[in-house]
Structures are given as structure tokens and as C-alpha cells.
Amino acid sequence: MPHSLILNLTPKSPIYPQFLSGRHLHALFLTLVSSVDKELGTYLHDSKADKAFTLSPLQITKNSPIPKGNRGSVLKSHHQEAISTGTPCWWRISLLDDALFSKLTQLWLNLNPEQPWHLGSADLYITSIQGTPQSTQPWANACSYTQLYEQASDSERIISINFATPTAWRQGKYDSTLPTRESLFKSLLSRWNKYSKIEFSELNFDAIFPSFINIHTEIVPDSRSKFIGIVGEVTYRIMGDIEATQIKQINTLSNFALYSGIGRKTTMGMGMGRRVRN
């Protein structure tokens, strides 16, 4: 059962930009895991395979409400200035595997809002965790794989995807930022088939065509390299005579994007996306 969890955080001291990179947030997640299961934390650290979690960049909490299902927005993928002491922040963690979620249950249940966690040189508190949709937070949710499939439409032909943090796909030795139907949906299909136990074995993407594109590229600097990805929105249409089962599977994958992440470096804050509607 995939979960999209929002951790609400308050820094006890300033968080400087060099400690807000994907690598530092990845290390913080492994610290959280190791606090309840050290062997699991070590395994996730050492594993080179596709990992059953994704992370967002750290976001500063806005006061204005976000209507559920709104047109997507771009999140802050990197910070050039320090986040001040006491600034409310949020951080999204998605988990794709039931075993991983269950092993972390003790962390969520025994959360101590007075316990500081370290992000670089800064200390911060986890004040609360959201796991269900909120009017002010569209990134929180949970839904079983069976429900994702059963609730997906077998007739809806318009699919709009919000690429909220820079997204790119690996093609051979290099990255591509072009959101083709193959790059997007094959990325989602691979993770769906790996974790859902409801395999889509004969899904064809030839009937999917982009009909609206509003994207630009962003560069995310890191001490080791630079990551270039797209942010914005792309709408795809399912065209022609296509079986209802195929439409249902494509809609399932589109709804699954909220949890799975898209493309590369999803455990470092990249490829964070979700389906949006008018």
C-alpha cells in the first residue's frame, strides 16, 4: 500500500543552503529509519537497486490554502538562503512497500516533538505527520494498490501531470528532459509492476499523445554535479479506438504518480509529480 506522508518540521537553528541538498535530506531519512531499525537503514544506504521510497526537497509552509485537485504548482527544488529558526516547513516522504511502512510504524506512533533531528549543522523538530488528504496539503494521501486500480476510470482520456520538482529520465549514458509518453509512463509502469503485485503485462502507450505543454527546465546544483530537469505541466490525451482495460491501466499509472515519483533521483527530491485536474 503506497503512502505519501507529510512531515511538518520546525528548525531549532538556521538551516543553511549547503545542508538542504538532496543528499543531506536522503541522509536524514536514513537516520529516521535507523532510529527504529538499524539494519534496514544500512540496507537502504547500501542498496543500488530501485528503492521503495521517494523524498521531496524541504519546503517552507505557506499560509494560504491549496484547493484539492488544483492545477499543479512548482515546488522549491533548492534554496539560496538559509531557512530561519522557527520557520514552519514540510517534507514529503512516500513509501511504496508495505513492509517498509510497517517497519517505520513505531517511528510515527512514538514521535517525540521534543526530540531534535540533525540536518547538517541544524537541529529540527518533527511536530506532526499527515498521512491523509488535507485542504492545505494535496501531497498527503494513502491508498492501496487494489484501490488505485479499482477506482481508476476506464473512460477518462485526458491526463494532466504536474512536474513539481525537476524531472529527467535516463537514456543510455545521459539524461533526457523530454516528457515523451514512453519516458513518463514506462517509468510509472516499472515501479507499479515492481511493488503493486497487479502486473500490467501488455500495456501499450501508442495511443497517448501530448496535447498541452507548459514546462521549462531548472538546474539543481550540488557539490558533485548539476541536475537538469523539467518542471511545469503536460497534458496527454488517449486517442483512437482503445480497450477500456488499457484506459483503466493508464489512468491507474497516472494516479500512482503521486506516490511513485517520476524518472531519476526520486530519493533525492527530484521527479516529484502528481496528476492534476481543473
pLDDT (0 to 100) of residue 65: 47
Assign 50 a pLDDT band (cuts: 50, 70, 90): low
C-alpha cell at 99: 513492509
Number of Cβ within 10 Å of residue 221's Cβ equals 12
For residue 16, give the amino acid letter.
Y
Q: Is 38 exposed, middle or buried (0-12, 13-18, 19+ CB in 10 A)?
A: exposed
pTM: 0.90
Can you name the residues that pair with 171 across neighbouring β-strands?
174
Give per-residue pLDDT as tens, 96-107: 988 777 777 777
Q: Which range among 216-220, 223-227, 260-264 shows the weakest confidence by mean pLDDT?
A: 223-227
Q: How far from chain centre, in Å, is Cα 225?
A: 21
Residue count (the chain): 278
C-alpha cell at 164: 513539481
Distance CA 233, CA 152 (A): 21
| Confidence check: pLDDT of 108 > 90 | no
Give per-residue pLDDT as tens, 68-82: 445 568 898 888 889
DSSP codes, 133-183: -BTTBTT-EE--HHHHHHHS-SS--EEEEEEEEEE-EEETTEEE----HHH
pLDDT (0 to 100) of residue 242: 93
Assign 191 a pLDDT band (cuts: 50, 70, 90): very high
pLDDT (0 to 100) of residue 223: 66
